[in-house]
Amino acid sequence: MQQAQTVGIDLPLKALVWQDVQGATWLSYNDPAYLAGRHGIGEPANAAVAAMTGALHAIATKATAP
């Protein structure tokens, strides 16, 4: 938010669990890199974006494990 206060509209990060018409269940979230691009956040935030991406991936992997 230090580089682009507009990213606040997309924070906090959230996930959506939903079911399609075939009955499959999905977990969806916006990729932090997409949000950085959407709000014109440049290179100084790359480490933070990578950390958020890794954390979301780990959470999603654990949440969807059988």
6-55 pLDDT, tens digit per residue, is 999 999 999 999 999 999 999 999 999 999 999 999 888 899 999 999 99
User: Based on the structure, what is the number of domains in the chain?
Assistant: 1
Residue 66 pLDDT greater than 90, yes or no:
no
Kindly report the pTM of this predicted structure. 0.81
Q: Give the model's pLDDT for residue 42.
A: 86
Burial class (CB in 10 A: 0-12, 13-18, 19+), 64: exposed
Return the exposure string of 2-35: e unless at least 16 CB atoms fall within 10 Å of the residue's CB, then b. Answer: eeeeebeeeeeeeeeeeeeeeeeeeeeeeebeeb
Q: Give the model's pLDDT for residue 43.
A: 85
Q: Domain limits at 32?
A: 5-63
